[in-house]
Structure formats: structure tokens, C-alpha cells
């Protein structure tokens, strides 16, 4: 040993490939002249092999990702439903509707009114042909004034504009327009409708995906969709794994990986057969689904290691 020997921590950092390039060069130069440090590095490497291969076997357990996802998003759903109650409370506060809660009769009437309004808005939003007809009817009564607007681009937002525009023109003439009584509240309702459209869709997509894949639906059609997504994931993962397994897995691990994969593939094959024979066999479907999940987890474990190796390089 000489005075310039490196600390065990630095040697470990070197072994783990985390030492900066200049420090690494310095260390390599030192190793060429220092037997003690060279022996220590060799020991650290063999300890790495032993400790991490033992830990890999036991700590890289299969992760029940889908079950976890279901649980986490179910809890968040609960939190969200609490929040959305708060949201509507603040909306009603903003509109000064707090007093309604004290009078149940009026509240019920308001609820019916809102339901009808929502239904009307829903009809307009989802059937773009109808609003054009609605817009045309008043034009017949109003003569030429509103005949001009159709020259504007007939986009979906035009529907709302047509609803909102007439009241501003009612200063000149009295229009017997059936939409005018609700037109004051129309902007607010339209905003609500558009708000409910966008966030709900973005939020619900993962949850729906969860419930279709994990909550064991009895209907055959969602199951097929889930199977597609499983197969797609498996195909992508298989590609990554096939590219990397030769240098990521040690021979012993490779053998156990191939064996596990063969077992899972066999299970999938058998269960597919069962499900084809009898599509209503829910137990077989359940086993098929969990076999797919196991396969994804198994492939994931190798793919993750490939990622790690790639980042270390």
C-alpha cells in the first residue's frame, strides 16, 4: 500500500461505474502500481456479483402492477368524488345559489330545470345537424338580419354563438325565440358542459382501462380488447428482451428466465384453448388474464435490467 491509496468508497464507485472519467483515469493509473487496491477492487467485484445475484433472486419479485393500479386509482376516485362535490359547492356559491339548499322545493325544481337544460345542450352538442335547423327557424321570423351569419364558418362553436347572439339583437325587435328564456344561463351551462367533457374523458380513460383489465368483466367484448393490449405490450417487451437478454442475463438467470417464460407461455396456450372452447368459462379467462400479466411482469423484469445496463453504459 502506498500513500495515494484510494478509499473503499471510491473503489466501489469505480466498480459501479459511477466515478467521473478524470478520477477513473487517476484510479486506473494507481491500480497499475498498487497491488493492495487491485486486490480490493477484485474483492469488491466478486462481492458485487455474490450480493446482487442473491438479492436479485429474492428482491425482484413479480409486481402486481394491475392490482396496484386498480387500488390506487380507486382511492383517487374517492378523493376526486369528494373534490367534485366541493367543486359544485363552489360553483353554486359563485352563482349565488346557496339559498336554494335551504328550500328543498325550489332546489328540486331547479334540479329538474337543469336536467332539462343539460339534455337540450347534450342534444345540440352531439347532433350537429339539429342546431342548424334551430338557427334557421328564427331567421325566417327575423327576415334578413340573421341570414347573413350562415356565411360564417359552420363550426361546432357556431351553435353556441347562435344561441347567445339573438338576445343582443332583441333590443331592436321582439323575437319570439323559444331559446331566449334560457339564454341568460346558457353561457354558464355551455361552459359546464364543455368542462365536464374534457377533464372527465382524460381522467376516466386510465380508470376505465383499469376496470376493464383488472375488475374481471363478465362480458366477452372488453376482454378481447384487453387481450389486444396485453398482446401489444408483450410484443413490444419481447422485442426489447430478445435484443438484450444475451448480455443482460447471466447464463444461470437466462436458464431460469427461459424456463419461467416457457411455463407462462404454456399456461397462456392452454387457457386460450379453454376460452376458445367455452367463451363463458370465467375461471379460464381469469387464469388467462393473470398469465398474460405474469408474462408482462417477467418480460418487464428483464427489460428493466436492460434499461439499467443501457444507462450505466
Interface positions with other proteins (CB under 8 A): 7-13, 16, 18, 43-44, 46-48, 50-52, 54-61, 63-65, 67-69, 71-72, 75-76, 79, 87, 90-91, 93-96, 188, 191, 195, 198-199, 202-203, 206, 300, 304-305, 307-308, 311
Are 233 and 289 in contact by the 8 Å Cβ rule? The answer is: no
Smallest gap from Cβ 281 to other proteins, in A, equals: 28
Are 170 and 180 in contact by the 8 Å Cβ rule? The answer is: yes
- Residue closer to other proteins (CB basis): 173 or 194: 194
Comparing CA positions, the residue from 86, 95, 313, 93 lying closest to residue 187 is: 95
Comparing CA positions, the residue from 171, 179, 183 lying closest to residue 138 is: 179
Comparing CA positions, the residue from 234, 208, 235 lying closest to residue 289 is: 234
Are 117 and 185 in contact by the 8 Å Cβ rule? The answer is: yes
What are the b/e assignments for 282-299, b being 16+ CB within 10 Å?
eebbebbbebbbbbbbbb
- Residue closer to other proteins (CB basis): 168 or 202: 202
146 three-class SS: coil
Smallest gap from Cβ 123 to other proteins, in A, equals: 23
Smallest gap from Cβ 33 to other proteins, in A, equals: 22
- Residue closer to other proteins (CB basis): 189 or 270: 189
Smallest gap from Cβ 114 to other proteins, in A, equals: 15
64 three-class SS: coil
- Residue 5, CA distances (Å) to 24, 274, 281 in order: 13, 66, 68
- 154 — phi, psi (to 5°)? -80, 60
Comparing CA positions, the residue from 204, 211, 194 lying closest to residue 80 is: 204
Are 302 and 241 in contact by the 8 Å Cβ rule? The answer is: yes
- Residue closer to other proteins (CB basis): 196 or 276: 196
Smallest gap from Cβ 1 to other proteins, in A, equals: 13
Smallest gap from Cβ 12 to other proteins, in A, equals: 4
Smallest gap from Cβ 77 to other proteins, in A, equals: 11
- Residue closer to other proteins (CB basis): 155 or 308: 308
- Residue closer to other proteins (CB basis): 127 or 308: 308
- Residue closer to other proteins (CB basis): 95 or 123: 95
Amino acid at each position: 500500500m502506498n500513500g495515494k491509496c484510494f478509499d473503499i468508497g471510491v473503489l466501489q464507485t469505480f466498480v459501479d461505474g459511477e466515478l467521473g472519467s478524470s478520477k477513473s483515469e487517476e484510479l486506473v493509473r494507481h491500480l497499475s502500481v498498487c497491488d493492495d487496491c487491485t486486490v480490493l477492487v477484485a474483492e469488491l467485484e466478486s462481492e458485487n456479483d455474490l450480493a446482487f445475484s442473491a438479492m436479485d433472486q429474492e428482491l425482484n419479485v413479480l409486481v402486481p402492477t394491475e392490482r396496484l393500479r386498480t387500488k390506487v386509482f380507486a382511492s383517487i376516485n374517492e378523493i376526486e368524488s369528494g373534490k367534485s362535490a366541493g367543486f359544485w359547492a363552489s360553483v353554486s356559491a359563485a352563482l349565488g345559489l346557496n339559498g336554494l339548499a335551504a328550500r328543498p322545493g325550489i332546489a328540486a325544481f331547479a334540479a329538474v330545470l337543469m336536467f332539462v337544460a343539460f339534455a337540450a345542450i347534450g342534444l345540440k352538442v352531439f347532433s350537429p345537424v339539429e342546431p342548424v335547423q334551430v338557427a334557421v327557424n328564427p331567421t325566417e321570423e327575423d327576415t334578413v338580419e340573421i341570414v347573413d351569419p350562415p356565411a360564417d364558418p359552420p363550426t361546432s362553436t357556431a351553435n353556441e354563438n347562435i344561441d347567445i347572439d339573438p338576445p343582443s339583437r332583441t333590443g331592436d325587435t321582439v323575437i319570439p325565440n323559444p331559446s331566449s328564456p334560457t339564454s341568460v344561463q346558457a353561457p354558464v351551462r355551455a361552459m359546464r358542459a364543455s368542462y365536464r367533457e374534457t377533464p372527465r374523458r382524460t381522467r376516466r380513460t386510465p380508470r376505465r382501462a383499469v376496470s376493464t383489465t383488472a375488475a374481471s368483466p363478465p362480458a366477452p367484448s372488453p376482454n378481447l380488447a384487453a387481450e389486444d393490449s396485453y398482446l401489444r405490450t408483450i410484443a413490444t417487451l419481447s422485442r426489447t428482451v430478445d435484443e438484450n437478454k444475451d448480455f443482460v442475463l447471466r447464463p444461470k438467470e437466462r436458464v431460469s428466465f427461459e424456463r419461467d417464460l416457457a411455463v407462462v407461455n404454456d399456461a397462456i396456450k392452454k387457457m386460450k384453448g379453454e376460452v376458445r372452447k367455452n367463451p363463458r368459462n370465467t375461471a379460464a379467462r381469469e387464469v388467462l388474464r393473470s398469465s398474460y400479466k405474469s408474462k408482462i411482469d417477467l418480460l418487464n423484469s428483464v427489460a428493466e435490467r436492460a434499461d439499467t445496463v443501457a444507462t450505466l453504459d
